[in-house]
Structure 1
């Protein structure tokens, strides 16, 4: 993964290095002999001008030209022919020449910059060697006065830093703008999964953030959708018992005392049904609440406790429990017990008298399977896919219930990182199985 932090840091350091390098390169270039000879106002046309004066007006005129150059720019000039002899006396004093000769081994100690150039006259074909000696203060003053160096360095620095700053800024603001749009859409519940698909393909922090945001958006959209559906289902399921209670109360108000006494048991049953429905709705809602860390689950103790409670309430049922030895399961015991209790109650509703109900806990690979099987009529295959949805009941189901037991078990399995399998047993009856990892991760909102 390419870290955005290192990318930004490298961009700034690279920009600084480029500016420094270009500045040094420009400074070196400005200090080159060819650059000075071609750009300095006293030297750029000197060979041609001197040659024309010398050849057309004689030695005196050319010498006067060199003297004028000396006064104006403080530059000493020597002109030699092919034999190395002075063509004119020039402006370089003899004592200065002797001093230069003594400093031959270390030219840096000289107080001037020595430049040389050759010029061939197009008129006579003679070749002249011109030697310039520019004092260092004069050369530095020309660099400062030319303004080329500071403006060039500043311009290069601004261009380079602007380009790098623009690239870094765009690499940050564009993903942030997309994330901002996704947050806006999520707030309006119109978030689309493909809105951040391109950003999620990036291999930096923005790509990781977009991937996590996509997951969060999907979970929130799913949660919002399930909550809306739950509210619609709850309002529908609560309407029927409340309507019955309202009708019974209206009848009781107009009934005679003897008839009124007959209505009280009906009112009590409707209140009990309403209380049971609300209890199951709350149990389903609590499964989405934050839970603590996973802990070891006493699978044997849990199943045997459920077996005892069921046989105590209905002595006619034969409930057999099989638990694999050394089965160690980690999770949330209360949540799993509520799920298995609902599966067992569902089996008790449809199991014929005298038939066996089988509760089993075994290990399959790195997963644990907790199952409940009855010998009832089962469920039509076309309705199996919808089992486990809140308030859904198969059309041919006549046993009492609200359609929340399997939904609670399914949600509990998902909170453990597993799933609920519902199917008709090949040998008859119905099989409900919780398929769970032995070490569940912290639950997430679905």
Structure 2
């Protein structure tokens, strides 16, 4: 979320600064050229007048008056003026820098003001004539004015730049928020749909937008509505079929009882086989109804606080009794005392389904190992239950699918073990209703590890129970 927002914000900001910087450089360049042009125009007129006045002062007042006039010019401005004959001789007899001679001679041959730059100083030379008609060359050096960092023009420019930057940042923030906020709402809605809340919609949160993102939101709402309709139809169909099957199954059980009473010993094995299939159908119908009920609920009632480690040990003891009939065992290898709020019937069913699944596939003579650990995520204590078997495991591509209803990794193996692919789906829904999550992974030592994560209401406590085979 934040990554997309800040990416868009930064790109808008960079684009704004690039455009603004290019525009500022262009304006500054044109202003420099314009300022230089204005300087040359003004300087040309001023230096012509000064040159004529200097020649007049020299011819009418002599060198002393000229020196006095030039000194006054130096006192009132940064200029350092001088007057030369057309042959390049300083009329005051002062020595001049040799580098000035080319400029002096160049000015003596034209009436145009000659400009030259010497480092940061502008040097100007202008031909003029005295009252006697004699030709002279007047030159002056003008140091450009220097401005302090708090010059009023610079200060005004900095204030304008700061205002532009602040406004630009605010506009970029608004644009980034305007673009990313509906995307974030869509992301939240997708997660709600994935969590089973099919009634989630985003159209009302998009306001009066009429762009492609709004169209995407409305298309999302249509999709969610269609999914909700399909899922509701599927649930109602499963519930209806399950309820309708209950009655003929009940009559079948009555018929089985009567058949056992009226037949001889030679048909008992047949009745046992029919009874086994009827029991399996009953169990499957019960699981379908349980799953349909869980899928239709968004929360669970009748919660109470339980000590999870003791609760888990009771379930493991019952599972171990069942496992011994197929020469296996279920043990608790590690347990930490943790308090959780849960619907005990629902949580027991979720854990038992995982344990029965592990017993079903673990190798004969092996152990199904159960552990209860505590973890902390963002200050929230999490109870983690691990159930590890020593079976063949599950192919990696199927690990994300084992919690889907009616999903079976291998049909032939499931038929042999009696599974229909509903137990882990019930576990997934039950744990998610408790605010937790379920996942599965293959153990490096072989077998499958199913992890159940539940929010706890107590901090981790000292180790309560540990089982050792040594």
TM bracket, shorter-chain basis: 0.3 to 0.5
TM-score of the superposition, structure 1-length normalised?
A: 0.44
